[in-house]
Amino acid sequence: MTKRVRCLIIGSGPAGYTAAIYAARANLSPVLYEGMQPGGQLTTTTEVENYPGYPEGITGTEMMDDFKKQAERYGTQVVRGRATSVDFSTSPKKVTIDNEEVIEADTVIISTGATAKYLGIPDETKYAGMGVSACATCDGFFYRNKTVAVVGGGDTACEEATYLSGLASKVYMIVRKDHLRASQIMQDRVMKNPKIEILFEHNTLGLFGENGVEGAHLVKRMGEADEEKVDIKIDGFFLAIGHHPNTDIFKGQLEMDNEGYITTQFPTTFTSVEGVYAAGDVADSLYRQAITSAGTGCRAAIDAERYLSEHNL
């Protein structure tokens, strides 16, 4: 079964829904497939306080429900389903949904996001939204004058630790190696920060706490003769070991950087294939915020509308 659409949006979240709002208002009759996580990563965030227009804050799920309703109000067809393969070598583009239905699209907006990398310990799931976070900029505000830990030893971890040190009373960096992988300038920054304590050669075994994270079980020099179990008291546990862009199905179809993020032609959202656009975290390894994703969703819809107009589609 094949369906033809003018504007196909793959993935939801702030980028996808914003693209849908703009595309629908431009009479592009967009069809949006929500993907594996309807609403995107934001639905795993308990409280969003840094998005303009919500002075009292709002849960990520409620906010994405608002975005979705607004997109549907203007005529977006929102469908459950996941893109499983694509063929961008032809016009119209071909996108297969759930290994069954083939969609032919004059334009495609990709907003499949990026997934934070986790350690894989069960407590990360147990305390999700209760002290475990993968975004210091999003959630750091909740840990003012508290003690937090950041896992990781690269630039991202150093940036997150530095950011959190402006809010928290103390920041531990849990680093499994005996050195930081970060650039020298970032290493110097955290080393000189009196609020940051780096725990080299430490691995996280688990977390503990009654109604949220109260501490972490660590092991120092794991597997060595002088291996030692260590507990630290913390209120928040931040993952900073990287993100994985959800771009596997686009490999070989679009140009990407070394980490797998789709490359776009700034300031547009143009990808390496004409008529295909990328918005949100799938093309952003730097900011990863709801508002920046929404902004690129807007730009992608405008880019798609201009393409359709120029080609009389």
Of 1, 3, 22, 2, give the one whose Cα is nearest residue 277: 22
- DSSP conformation class of 99: T
Residue 135 among the catalytic residues: yes
Residue 267: is the preceding peptide bond cis (ω within 30°)? yes
Residue 236 to residue 136: CA distance in whole angstroms: 10
Q: Which of 7, 106, 123, 139 is catalytic?
A: 139
- List own/partner pairs for 221-224 with CB under 8 A and 24 or more apart: 222/176
Selecting among 7, 135, 158, 298, the annotated active-site residue is 135
Return the structure tokens found at 68: 């979705």
Characterize the bridge pairing of strands 147-151 and 236-239.
parallel
Measure the CA–CA gap between 110 and 68, rounded to whole angstroms: 17
114-116 and 132-133: which strand pairing?
unpaired
* Known active-site residue 158: no
Phi, psi of 78 (to 5 degrees): -95, 125
Judged by DSSP in three states, 304 sits in helix
Q: Which of 7, 138, 158, 298 is catalytic?
A: 138
Residues marked active site are found at 135, 138-139
